[in-house]
Amino acid sequence: MTKEMDKLLSKHKQLIHSENQKVLSHVQRETVEWIHNTVMIKGCDVPFKYNRKKKYKSLKGAIVNITYYPTTEEVAGFEMEVMKTTRIKIS
């Protein structure tokens, strides 16, 4: 882990950083202003979500370093745990 990442994690206590995680699935959905991305990581049943302005190449099968924090989202009246991704980088 870099010094920059250490600073970020010490400043924001809820952030979690995981390295060398395999992406099982990557879905990109277009809305008016954003591309909503959902990534599923091997060994984790919770989706990792983030937004981008442009489409990005598929991360399916890639090994990534990911920084995120847990949150909940209401879907069809049910509360669901999701991971709000703040940084994702191919390792």
Q: State phi, psi for 3 to the nearest 5 degrees.
A: -60, -35
What class has domain 3-90? mainly beta
Domain boundaries, the chain: 3-90
Q: Which pLDDT score, from 0 to 100, does residue 5 have?
A: 63
User: Residue 24 CA to chain centroid, in angstroms?
Assistant: 13
The pLDDT, as a whole number, for residue 56 is 87
Average pLDDT of the residues of the chain:
88
What gap in Å lies between CA 84 and CA 81, rounded to an integer?
A: 10
pLDDT of residue 64: 95
pLDDT tens across 66-81, in order?
A: 999 899 989 899 999 9
- Please provide residue 52's backbone torsions phi and psi, each rounded to the nearest 5 degrees: -140, 160
- Identify whether the C-beta of residue 12 lies closer than 8 Å to the C-beta of residue 70: no
Report, as ranges of residue numbers, the positions in the chain whose pLDDT lies below 70.
Answer: 1-2, 4-10, 12
